[in-house]
Amino acid sequence: MSIPFTFWSLNGLMVAAGSSLIAGIVFFIGKCIYNLFFHPLASYPGPWLGRATRLHYVYHQLAGDLPYKTLDWHNTYGEVVRVAPDELSYNSSRAYHDVHVWRDNDLRSGLEKDKTWYSQSINSVPVIVTAENKDHSRLRGIMVHAFSDRALARQEPLINSYVDLLMRRLRELPTDQPIDMVPWFTSTAMDVILDLSFGKSVGCLENTVNGELHPWVRLISGHVKQGLYVQAWRRLPALISRNALVNLVLARIGRVWMEQFQVTTRMARERIAAGPGREDFVTHLLRENSEKDGMTIPELEIASSIFMTAGSDTNATLLCGCLYYALRDPKIWSRLTDEICGSVTQESEMTFTRLQKLPFLNAVIEEALRVYVVVPTTFPRRTPPKGATICGRFVPGDYAVGMNGYAAALSEKNFARASEFHPERWLAEPDPRFARDDKKAHQPFSTGPRNCLGKSMALAVARSVIARLVWNFDVQLAPESRDWAANQEIYVMFVKTPLMCWLKERKRL
């Protein structure tokens, strides 16, 4: 006999639901009180809402303004800020050393990566970005040869072929309207890194039309932003992060990732099957691997995907930031033009070696890396079970700690006139105004045994593109992009708005 659904049973459900809600609220308040007053990190300063709950941190993550807020917090509270109940943020040069550099026999690569933040590889093999220290040393020992100065010299013709193509495509554009440089720099960076990683390009530059990015570029950019969403949800309490709606969204993201993984894996397999022979990353991996037997086939396959993700939008961001800030000040642009055009008599003389010796060009790039931080997001490490001493203060075990490069580079405590663009601070004889700058607080490629392998390549590409742009075109910043860098959203990296510039080809005898 069925039991009728009565008012009283409905009332009982409502009472149960209300009781659960009240219990949840009481638990949340109790947890916040514990985090504020009794937590092992309770003595560290920070915004009270951030110290109370991770929700505060995640809100700013998803709002795209977390690095801006982190800078504000450091300006208020000092070199160490408790940005979340279980996470400390630092912005000083000594923290770079304590978190990232060699420490002792147990921590030869600095503190281990925070696995709550970092996603593991889809094929479940160690990758250099997330690997534990023991695997990281093995992987890096092989990969480092692909990024050596000798390897870069051999890769120079391939890289320059895409810079040639960029100059040609820019000449084809109409001159009666400003040009958005973001898609052109982004496509150049993607073509270069795809060819070096997989042995072929998908034609990003050739197929950039009316400022529209190639679908491949949009796919990779979306992947980075989606990764931030996944990381943010993983750090929320289970009551919030584990529900049907969240699982549905994460499942959708997972399917997109798997589709990209399958495509890049197929491309990697084709390149590996071709063997060594062309001057790209894979040739060096195969040579070193055959000698040392250090990487498995799945590790080789995913390495190319890692190179592509790490070296595409980052290089485009550097180029955009460099061009924008140099153009904002006519004196800086004029000095840069004089140095570049006065150093060679023809474009073919602009080799990587020669451009590396131009002091003001290098200073402009270095300052652009500082004020427009390529990756302004914190990549946290985890203190070991025994704890660690950071900036002279002991931090208990199993807590997230990290350097925020944006908060370090834009801090007035580290750099005079920190928010202003002054390339002269990086010259051999710097302006006395910047004598007190703590240049070790500026580490755009990180520092220590896990620093960026692609530093030399990124700088070489930036020098070549900027120098040849100066040589070939008279460039002016369009009025609508005068405040281009202001208040851009940040989802791991800056979400770049259109960078509108007037380009007029230089006529040479």
Establish whether 452 is an annotated binding residue: yes
Report the C-alpha gap between 127 and 308 in whole angstroms: 13
For 416-482, give the DSSP string.
Answer: TTTTS--GGGGSSS--GGGTT--GGG--TT--STTS-TTHHHHHHHHHHHHHHHHHHEEEEE-GGGT
Task: Pick the closest to residue 98 from 110, 88, 89, 86 (CA basis).
Answer: 110
Q: To which residue do tokens 């300006």 refer? A: 75
**Amino acid at site 230:** V
Count of Cβ atoms closer than 10 Å to residue 264 Cβ = 21
Instruction: Please state, in angstroms and rounded to a whole number, the distance separating the CA atoms of residues 458 and 461.
Output: 5
Whole-number Å distance between alpha carbons of 433 and 426: 12
Helix (H, G, I), strand (E, B) or coil at 381: strand
Largest Cα span, the chain:
100
d(CA 150, CA 284): 11
* Residue 312 Cα to chain centre, angstroms: 10
Which residue, 45, 117, 130, is CA-closest to 88? Answer: 45
3-state secondary structure of 389: strand
| DSSP annotation of 110 | B
Helix or strand run (H / E) with residue 382: strand 381-382
Please enumerate, by residue number, every residue annotated as part of a binding site: 452
Please enumerate, by residue number, every residue annotated as part of a binding site for heme: 452
